Structure 1
Amino acid sequence: MAKIVLNVALPVFKYEALYSGAAKNLVAHSLDGRKVQLPLASFQRFLTHQGINGFFEVEFDDNNKLIGVTQLK
Structure 2
Amino acid sequence: MTKIVVDVSLPAYKYKEMYKGSVKGLVVQSRDGRKIQLPLLAFQQFVTMQGVYGSFEVEFDDNKKLVGITKLR
TM over 0.5: yes
Partner residue, 1:11 = 11
CA distance in 2 between partners of 1:18 and 1:27 (Å): 12
3-state SS of paired residue (2:22): coil
Among all aligned residue pairs of Structure 1 and Structure 2, give the percentage whose two residues are the same amino acid.
Answer: 59
Q: State the TM-score, normalizing by the size of structure 1.
A: 0.95
Letter in 2 for 1:3: K
CA distance in 1 between partners of 2:54 and 2:14 (Å): 16
2:56·2:71 contact (CA, 8 Å) conserved in 1?
yes
CA distance in 2 between partners of 1:49 and 1:4 (Å): 26
3-state SS of paired residue (2:49): coil
CA distance in 2 between partners of 1:8 and 1:19 (Å): 16
Partner residue, 1:55 = 55
1:18 Cα deviation (Å)? Answer: 3.5
1:60 Cα deviation (Å)? Answer: 0.2
Gaps in structure 2 of 5+ consecutive residues: none
Gaps in structure 1 of 5+ consecutive residues: none
Give the stretch that moved more between structures: 14-23 or 47-56: 14-23
Structure 1 stretches of 4+ with a deviation exceeding 2 A read none
